[in-house]
A and B are shown apart, each in its own frame.
Chain A
C-alpha cells in the first residue's frame, strides 16, 4: 500500500505532454503509480480538489550567498523560499565569496545544504579558478565531489585558449559547461539595452548584438571541442537563429532564459527602478515575445529564476551604480503562469522548461510524473489571484521586481522525495 495518495488532481505531465485529472501514489519517496481510474487505498490521502499537480521545479542558477554574504541569503532562507515556490531542486551558482572552485569549498556547500535546506541542492562549481578565466579548476575532483555543472557565472572567459582547454578537458569527463553569452567589450559598464528607452533615460547601454556575438563564438568552440554546453540565458531575438543553427548542426547545446526576461521588458525600469536591474539588462518587448515563442517551440529549453539576492544598500543607489539581480524563487511559478494565462503556452510545455528539461540536462531523475521517479512534486492552484508583497517573501533579500504586482498561481503544497516541505495555511 502506498504511503501517500494525491487524488482528484490535474496531473501536469511534461514528459508525455498531457494534462489529465487523476491520482498519484507515492511510496517510499518515489512515485509508485498514477492513474485516472479508481485510486488505490493509502495511509494518507490528500484531496487536490482539482488543482494542478506537477513535478517540482528544477531551477538552474540559484545564487545562495553562502559562503561570504550570508546576510543576503542563506541555505535556510533560500531553501524555505524554494519550498514555498514549488522549487524542489536548486542548482546553485559558484559565484560566491570565495568562489566555489575547490572540492573543499564544494564540500562546505553540500554539508550546509544538507543541514539547512528542505529541498534538494545540486551545486555547480567554477570553471576557472577564482572565476578569473586564467586556469581551469580541478574539474575531475569537483565532479567527484558532486558538482553537476561548471560555470563562471556571468563572468565571461575572454581568453579563448583557456576556455577551449577547459571545454576539451570537460568533454573528456562528460561534464556540462554553462556559459553566459555576452561580449564583455561591448557590455562593459552597460546598465540597459541600447535603444530609445536607454537613450531617453541617459543610461549606458549594450547592443543586443553582444549576446549573439558571444554565442557565435561559443558555438565555434563547442564545435571544436565537442563539449556539452548550456547557455545560461538567451535574452534577445537576434541570438535565436544562432542557437537554432547550432542545434540543427547536432551540437550538444541547450539554452535557458530567466523568468524576468520572459515576463518583463526594458520599459518596466521606468524611472530608474533598480529592482528591475538584472544582468543582462531587460530587453525590448519584441525580444520578450520572441523568447516566449522560443520556449513554446522548445528552442529555448530551460526557464530559470536567476535568483540573485541583493540587500537594500546595494540597490538603493543611482541606477548605474546599483547591483544587478533579482530574487525569484518564490515568484518563478506565478510569473511563469502569466504565459499560460496569456494563452501563449500550455502547462505541460511550460513544465518541460521548468522541470523536465533542466533535470535531464543535469542527468537528474526528477522532473517527471512517471512511476519510479522521485516524488518531487508541487501542488498548486494555477488561477488563485494575489498581490505580491515583497516583505512577505521568505528570502532574506526582498529585491523583487514584482512587488505590488497582481499575479495568479499559488503553491498549495511542495513535496521532496515524498515528504511535504511546504504547505499553504
Chain B
C-alpha cells in the first residue's frame, strides 16, 4: 500500500503512486457497483458524517451512497442551516464532533483551508469535499478515472480545462493531478477568469477557445457561477456563450475522438451546448457521476484501512 495518509485534504500531497492506487481500487468498485449485489463490508461498524457548510446535492449524495455501499453508518449534517448561524465556530464544531466519535468526516466549506483547519482539531479521518477555491480532490480523482477508462491511459494526454479557473477548486485539483501524471494541461477562458499566474503551474493559458482546443484529447468544461457575472468578470451570459461556450464548431478543433467532461451541474446554453452534453459519442458526463461513487468508495476504504492500521499500532511511513 502506498497511500498511508490520515486524511484526504487535497491532491497536492499525493504521490503518483497514491493516485494510481486509489484509481485501481476504484476500478474494482466500479465492477461492484455494476453487479447485482452492490455491497461490501469495508466500512462496517464505522461512522461516516457528511458535513456540508455549503449547498450540495450531487457530491453529498455521492458520498452518502459510497459510504452506505461500504456498510458505514452514514449521517448527513447540513451546517449552513444550523449552528454556524448561531455563531458556533469551526473549532466548537470540531469539539462537538469529537464527542460523537465518527471515523470518517466528509467536509465541504466555502472558505479555502477551512477543511485543513478542521482536520487539525478532530480525531477522525477527514475527506475534503471541496474547500473554497482551494481543492476538491475526489472530483479530480473521479475525472482522472473517467479519463483513464475512456483513453486507456492517464499520461501524455493533452487536456483543456475551460471556463472559470480562478474561482474553481475543481480546476485547481485537476491541474495538480494531471500535472503529477505528466499530461499537458491547457487553461482556456477569458483573462478575468484565467489569471496569468496559472502559467507558473506549467499550464499553457489561452483566451481563444479555438486555439485552446486545438488537437486536445480531453475537453473539461467548468460551471460558470452566476455570481461571477454579477462581479463583473464577464460582460454577459450570451457573450460568454458565444466566445467560450462549447458547441460543435468549437469542439471540431479538438481531436476527433476527444471526450467532453463537466463536473455538473451544467448551465446548458451558457458554458455548454445541450447537444454536446447529451452526445453519447463525445460526452462522458454521466460516466463521471458513476466514477464519482466508485472513487469515493476507494478513498474512504483506503482511509479506513489506514485508520485501522494506526489503531493496531502499525508503523506509519
- Partner-B contacts on A (CB < 8 A): 194-196, 198-203, 271-272, 313, 316-321
Contact = CB atoms under 8 A, between A and B. Distances in A.
A399 to B, nearest CB: 15
Contacts of A198: 197
Interface string B60-89: 000000000000000000000000000001
A117 B112 CA distance: 40
A318 B53 CA distance: 13
B113 interface: yes
Interface of B: 12, 89-91, 109, 111-114, 116-117, 131-135, 169, 172, 195, 197-198, 200-201
Nearest to B111: A318
Contacts of B132: 202-203, 318, 320
B198 A199 contact: yes
A199 B109 contact: no
Contacts of A313: 89
A310 B89 CA distance: 16
Given A203-B134, A318-B112, A318-B113, 19 more contacts: A194-B195, A195-B197, A196-B197, A196-B200, A198-B197, A200-B201, A201-B113, A202-B131, A202-B133, A202-B134, A202-B135, A203-B112, A203-B132, A272-B117, A317-B117, A318-B117, A319-B111, A320-B132, A321-B111
Nearest to A207: B195
A202 B198 CA distance: 12
A198 B196 CA distance: 12
A350 to B, nearest CB: 34
A196 B172 CA distance: 12
A271 B117 CA distance: 9
Contacts of A202: 112-113, 131-135, 169, 172
Contacts of A318: 90, 109, 111-114, 117, 132
- Please provide the 6 A-B residue pairs with the shortest distance between their CB atoms, ordered closest to farther: A272-B113, A202-B134, A318-B111, A202-B133, A318-B114, A202-B112
A196 B198 CA distance: 7
Residue among A201, A318, A321 with the highest chain B CB neighbour number at 10 A: A318
9 contacts: A199-B198, A202-B113, A202-B169, A203-B133, A272-B116, A316-B117, A317-B89, A318-B132, A320-B111
Residue among B109, B111, B113, B132 with the highest chain A CB neighbour number at 10 A: B113
A203 B110 CA distance: 11
A313 B133 CA distance: 24
Contacts of B111: 318-321
Given A200-B172, A201-B134, A316-B91, A272 B198 contact: no
B117 A199 contact: no
A316 B113 CA distance: 12
Nearest to B12: A200
Contacts of A319: 111-113
A316 B95 CA distance: 13
Contacts of B134: 201-203
B172 A317 contact: no
